[in-house]
């Protein structure tokens, strides 16, 4: 963390009390008394509201000690005093990023010009922020889609049978009072379920977008982790005639093939794959980002 040493050249224009508090802030910082250092710089600013160096040191300490809301407020004040201070703009963008305000972070990263020594750092951080925004957007879209599909399925089932859907799991060997209520069997506690397939043995495989996991649920309703390695933002699932599971890894940007032992390997790079299906030894993939459908030949 960089502090300003020595005092600013125009210190003679400042109230003596502000200069004394400023020096005390530096002394406290050097001895590790962070809270006292912060209070001293605040006192200097109280006496000299435009004391740039005091704001600078205060913001740096707040940022380094993860007091991000305070740091943002301080950096914004510096920005009002010196709008073209690109070092301050960079730290403001970083504080917004660490705080989770991604749109604001992008706004300030983009203000840093190529002439600044912080330009390349800002560009590297900007890539990370935009990638995180896309990841969160994909998670939200997948969750919304899953909720819509579930609602549509339950509504369709209810309309067709005239029954109210059952929302709890009843293992196959559990007796029920009304056999007509067993048409809908629900599997709970799967975060952001986004894709599902079944094999010939009655097992089902479910993609959890939020947990980056493929679960296997057997005929009795027992859930186990089928695959997790290399699974990143899974959406669509498909199964071939050999029992291999194919995963549309939305976040990772690829198609993952997982054998019955749960071992996966990337078979194809695809930008934001979404829905996949298999027919006649061909894998069909929707590539959401390009509004494209791909046809990929599987094993002979």
**What Cα–Cα distance (Å) separates residue 194 from each residue in 138, 139, 164, 271?**
11, 10, 23, 17
Q: How crowded is residue 116: how many other Cβ atoms within 10 Å of its Cβ?
A: 17
- pLDDT tens digits for range 127-167: 888 888 888 888 888 888 877 777 776 666 555 555 555 44
Q: Which CATH class is domain 11-131?
A: mainly alpha
**CATH topology identical between 11-131 and 166-173+185-297:** no
Residue 2's Cβ-count burial label (10 Å; 0-12, 13-18, 19+) is exposed
- pLDDT tops 80 at residue 295: yes
What does the alpha-carbon distance between residue 265 and residue 259 come to, in Å, rounded to a whole number? Answer: 9
Domain chopping of the chain, boundaries: 11-131, 166-173+185-297
- pLDDT tops 50 at residue 71: yes
Distance of CA 77 to the CA centre of its chain: 29
Helix axes 86-99, 102-109, angle to 10 degrees: 160
Domain 166-173+185-297 falls in which CATH fold? Neuraminidase (2.120.10)
Q: ∠ CA(106), CA(211), CA(153), 5° rounding? A: 105
Question: What tokens appear for 203 in the block?
Answer: 């097992």
**For position 65, what pLDDT does the model report?**
92
Q: What is the mean pLDDT of residues 175-197?
A: 70
- pLDDT tens digits for range 22-59: 999 999 998 999 999 999 999 999 999 999 999 999 99
Question: What tokens appear for 210 in the block?
Answer: 């939020």
Confidence of residue 169 (pLDDT cuts 50, 70, 90): very low
Q: What is the mean pLDDT of residues 238-246?
A: 92
* H helix intervals, 86-193: 86-99, 102-109, 119-161
What does the alpha-carbon distance between residue 268 and residue 272 come to, in Å, rounded to a whole number? Answer: 12
Question: What tokens appear for 278 in the block?
Answer: 């298999």
């Amino acid at each position: 963390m960089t502090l300003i040493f020595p005092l600013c050249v125009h210190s003679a224009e400042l109230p003596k009390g502000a200069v004394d508090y400023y020096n005390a802030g530096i002394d406290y910082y050097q001895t590790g008394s962070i809270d006292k250092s912060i209070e001293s710089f605040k006192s200097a600013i109280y006496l000299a509201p435009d004391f740039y160096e005091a704001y600078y040191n205060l913001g740096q300490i707040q940022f380094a000690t993860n007091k991000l809301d305070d740091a943002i407020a301080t950096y914004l004040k510096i920005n009002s005093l010196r709008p073209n201070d690109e070092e301050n703009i960079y730290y403001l963008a970083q504080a917004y990023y660490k705080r989770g305000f991604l749109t604001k972070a992008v706004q300030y990263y983009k203000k840093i010009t190529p002439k600044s020594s912080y330009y390349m750092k800002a560009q590297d951080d900007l890539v990370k922020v935009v990638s995180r925004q896309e990841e969160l957007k994909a998670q939200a879209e997948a969750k919304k889609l899953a909720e819509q599909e579930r609602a549509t399925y339950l509504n369709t089932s209810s309309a067709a049978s005239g029954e109210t859907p059952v929302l709890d799991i009843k293992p196959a060997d559990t007796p029920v009072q009304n056999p007509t209520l067993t048409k809908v069997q629900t599997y709970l506690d799967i975060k952001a379920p986004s894709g599902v397939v079944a094999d010939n043995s009655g097992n089902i495989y479910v993609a959890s977008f939020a947990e980056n996991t493929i679960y296997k649920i057997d005929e009795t309703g027992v859930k186990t982790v089928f695959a997790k390695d290399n699974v990143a933002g899974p959406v669509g699932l498909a199964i071939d005639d050999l029992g291999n599971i194919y995963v549309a890894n939305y976040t990772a940007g690829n198609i993952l093939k997982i054998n019955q032992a749960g071992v996966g390997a990337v078979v194809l790079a695809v930008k934001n794959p979404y829905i996949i299906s298999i027919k006649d030894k061909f894998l069909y993939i929707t590539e959401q980002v390009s509004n494209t459908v791909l046809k990929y030949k599987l094993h002979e």
